[in-house]
Amino acid sequence: MKIVFILDPLASLKGDKDTSLAIMREAQLRGHTLFVSMQHDLFLRGEQARIKVQKFRFVDGSYTLEPSTEDSPTAFDAIIMRKDPPFDNEYLYSTYLLEIAANQGAHVYNNPAAIRGWNEKLSVTRFAQFAPQFLVSADNDLIRDFLNTHQDIIVKPLDGMGGHSIFRLTLSDPNISVILETITQHGTRTVMAQRYLPAITQGDKRIIIIDGEPLPYALARIPLAGETRGNLAAGGTGVAQPLSKRDLEIATTVGKTLQQEGLFLVGLDVIGEHLTEINVTSPTGMVEIAAQTDCNPASRFLDALEHHHPKVP
């Protein structure tokens, strides 16, 4: 297959930890031809979607890049969107361009319309039976009422990633007003508040779903002592562990819907018994799971991708 990966700048990727690079290494091992693009390499010329790509190959612990060329997205067997959030206007425009490319015959993973439609925080509302109690609002009085009810809550922006701007609030916190003013930008930015889950001390579990099927292991991201956030980017430690019965119930139920929506690679965040986020942009955790278990997530990804393109050698 000829596979394009839309990435953040290569120099910003951590070679030994990056999920995109792990998938790309597996693809090269299988003989597929790799290309890389940046977010703004996709464009329209008239009504036709076009993309600039560079042929990519791993060589001796590094990589080579050929000069950029322009082609139709339909010239490739798969386009893998792996640009990290934040989901700002430029990301939004990229999903529109990718949707146009898909409508013209390109095979885009994840489905760009579904990426756009599944906000990573709000999507848990589709599975309220698994979510902790939550409130979505920009109104500081409503958030205060929610805090008064639950006494211990988490507040987070709807477009954040990596644990950025996540706050834990309790009734005794002397900084409630300034935190709420800051995170809501004085009532002009909508945020999510969730009941605090003490099970975070056992880890914020990342469950990877590939084409509707969960991997058998979750990556429990355990917070530093005294820290609320388990995100690896916030200093958490990743520990792979088999899915619990509840994890499997959540993952299989959600996975069926994700597959129907064309969301091919997704990371669920589960704390204790509750689903807290559905990550559809560029979920991570594959490298850590592969290092600690007998499961190779990148291989599972390529198996599923090749299943979608059985006639491609």
Q: Please give the positions annotated as active site.
A: 121, 156, 206, 221, 229, 269, 277, 279
Residue in 129, 278, 161, 150 with CA at minimum distance from that of residue 231 = 161
Residue in 270, 280, 282, 164 with CA at minimum distance from that of residue 219 = 270
Between the two ends of the chain, the Cα-to-Cα distance in Å is: 7
270-271-275-277 Cα dihedral, nearest 10 degrees = -70
Q: Does residue 109 contact residue 127 with C-beta atoms inside 8 Å?
A: no
Give the whole-angstrom CA distance, residue 69 versus residue 77. 17
Name the helix (H) or strand (E) containing 255. Answer: helix 245-260
Residue in 278, 279, 298, 281 with CA at minimum distance from that of residue 289 = 298
Give the whole-angstrom CA distance, residue 142 versus residue 193. 10
| 226: three-class secondary structure by DSSP | coil
